[in-house]
Structure 1
């Protein structure tokens, strides 16, 4: 029975070593985890109490951020992709033959990128070739 315990410990140790070798290590997170294990966060003043943040801080920062983006004509990536997809749809209406497949392939690639970037409620379905052929 002792041999089984030893072999289980060896297997567990080997498994842990393999995980550590192949997992990405975020050094800052590791420092925080070590500090948590050492109890450095146990007696902080205000622990467990809500943060006292001025509501105007977030709204004014958000407004300034949006103003800066608007003043510099910067759109979120998903808005730019949506405009490109709409442009491809217009081209698709007048396309013929092999050009249709090429446009649909390009459009679906942009739709995939768009879906990764946009809010979930605005995601689009891919275009099916059969609808245009």
Structure 2
């Protein structure tokens, strides 16, 4: 039996864009045919991406996590103030898992340490 060679796709995004163009998705785009602003050719490419993404309303995953962690820490503090200690270790473990995920995806200067019952008040102010 002869073996069939499978086609290896190396440019998936390129193929998607070509298909989108064939179906007319690239027609009548804002700014079509106009030169790119000079600022697009100066400075850092990543900074340009961040600015454009921000203008489009995109929020990075680590920023969403930051808000979730802050809210969860506040929830634990409220639970402590009400004298309810049920499920606290489980809730702290969940928060620390999110902190670990946050630290893997955020810029290095923004990384933070784990939360414990002893440091939760201090850490709450760091997550505001």
More helix by share: 1
TM value normalised by structure 2: 0.50
TM value normalised by structure 1: 0.48
Larger Cα-atom Rg: 1
